[in-house]
Each structure stands twice: as structure tokens, then as C-alpha cells.
Amino acid sequence: MRRKWTEKLIAEWEAEGRGAGERASYRPWLEVKDISSQGRSRRVYGEKIQREHHFFSDVEFNLFLCLEWAQDVVDIREQYPLDRELTLAVAESLGIRHPHYPGTHVPTVMTIDFLVTRLRDGQEVVEALNAKVADEAEDHTSRQKLEIQREACGLLDIKHDIIFDKAIPKQVALNINWIRDALPKLDEPDLRPGQLEELCTRMHGDLLSASGDQTLQAYCVNFDKRFGLPQGMGLRAARILLYKRVLKADMHCADLPKARLSTFVVTGSHSKLLVIGAR
């Protein structure tokens, strides 16, 4: 069913708190259920922000993975709405027709793909990011929308950047997604409280004396056998250690399970980095 965009609906969404809040309390202006043609849309639970995120393209999702992985990022607000009075004024000043919802005279609530908060030198810095495929740079309407958004962000003293799909390291995004998929799920069956944490603690100590000549996968298979674990639990524990940065890897590696342990670094006491297998 196609949604009918009206001023009443926009007022209702504003009253619901759409586009308001920070961190876990933030609610995106647009959610996956709001768009009839979902295509590559997805909802993803964010471990860093501790809430569900909503994305409408692969490029948005891949950029999110990199943002969540970045240690200086402390908040990610996707589908962030700009004030319509501001964007209408900006469009008029630029001589550009403001977007309207299809088949209506209702001005669109323009959204930034990501409003990101970073912590730099103890201060929070906010930046606006739009995630786009390269073809959109050639589209006249898309360029006009981006121009309105860039100017509006400038008036709000917010730096605005466009991140194209080719600028996002695809292999890094794939590795991040593989790593984060190992994290505990809510009400996960056959997993007692604290089990994964215990395995991670055990593996952390065990890795310090492991041979660096074997692959991560081979080590994890052997770890399962030595400690009587179900197949795959060792590799899951390793992925959680990677997520926690206790185990560090080359995130550009095309196949992390088949990488030799000597290419990984494990954090020892007081965050000292130790090469696995080093004598």
C-alpha cells in the first residue's frame, strides 16, 4: 500500500519523536516499514549505539559498518531530518525547486543519511554524511538535493561530506560484518549466560602460547577439540575477540579464517601488543 504523504502525517511523526533523540533514544525519521518498495533495505541492531538502525541501500549499510567500527565514533543517527523551513529557504536562495512528495504539494522532509558524532581531543564533533553510488553524481536531481543539504548543513555549522560506494573499503566492511555477526543475540538458544565470555577469556590466554604457523581456522578447530566444544565455537570466540580489539588483524585481508596466526596481534596485560607465535 502506497503511503499518502500529508502535513498531518508529518506532524504525527514529529509528535512521535521521529528524528529526535541521541544514541539509544534516537528514532530515525524514516524506517524500513515506511517505504513500500524496500529493495535492499534492512534493519540492523547496532552494538555500539544499542538500538536498531534502518538502512535503504547497501552503500548505507557498508558505511554504517565502518562508522560503527571506528573507535572515535560515539553516535550514529541515520535518516536524520533537516528542518523544512531551513531547506525551503536554502532552496529559494539557490534558485532550486525544493523536493515534494510524489503526487502532492507537500514539501519533502529532507534527510541526511548519517549524522555522526565523533570524539576528538575530548570534544564531540558532529558531521553529516550522505552515502551514494557513483551514478548519483551524474543525476541532476540528486545533485540539486545534495546541494540543498550541503548548504543547510553549512548554515548549521555542520561539515557535510558525500561518501561514494567506491570510497568504502568493501573487504573491510565484509570483515566487520563477519566479525560482528558472532556477537551474542538476545534469547539465543543453547547458550548459557556468560558462556561466550568464558570462552573468550580462555582463548585469550591460550593464544599467547599458540604457534603462529597455523591458520586462525585451524587453531579454532583444534581449540574446539581440546576443550570439548561444539564445532564452530572456537571461531566464534575468536571473532568476538576481534570485535573487542583483544585480537587485532589486517582488516583488508580477503580471508581472515585462512590467515596465519602470525599475522594477528593479541593484546596482553596493560594493552601490550604481542605477535602470536613470537619467541
DSSP state of 42: E
pLDDT score at 272:
45
One-letter amino acid of 89: A
The predicted-structure confidence for 76-90, as pLDDT tens digits, reads as follows 999 999 999 999 999
- pLDDT bin (cut points 50, 70, 90) of residue 4 is confident
- State the cell numbers at 109: 522532509
The Cα–Cα gap between 182 and 237 comes to: 8
One-letter amino acid of 132: K
The Cα–Cα gap between 152 and 157 comes to: 9
Residues 6+ apart with CB under 8 A from 143: 137
Q: Which CATH architecture has domain 7-168?
A: 3-Layer(aba) Sandwich (3.40)
The predicted-structure confidence for 203-234, as pLDDT tens digits, reads as follows 999 998 999 999 999 999 999 999 999 999 99
The Cα–Cα gap between 44 and 65 comes to: 10
Residues 6+ apart with CB under 8 A from 125: 117, 118, 119
Query: How far is residue 103 CA from its own chain's centroid?
Result: 33
Per-state percent for the chain, helix, strand, coil, to nearest 5 = 40, 20, 35
Which residue shows C-alpha cell 528514532? 27
C-alpha distances (whole Å) from 90 to each of 80, 83, 156, 257 are: 17, 11, 12, 51
C-alpha neighbours within 13 Å on the C-beta side of residue 51: 16
Output the 3-class SS for 44-72.
Answer: EEECCCCEEEEECCHHHHHHHHHHHHCCC
The predicted-structure confidence for 126-181, as pLDDT tens digits, reads as follows 999 999 998 887 889 999 999 999 999 999 999 999 999 999 999 999 999 999 99
Q: Is the CATH code 3.30.1490.20 the one for domain 186-275?
A: no
Q: What residue spans define the domains of the chain?
A: 7-168, 186-275
- pLDDT bin (cut points 50, 70, 90) of residue 271 is very low
Beta bridge partners of 132: 164
- What is residue 143's three-state secondary structure? helix
The predicted-structure confidence for 228-267, as pLDDT tens digits, reads as follows 999 999 999 999 999 999 999 999 999 999 999 999 999 8
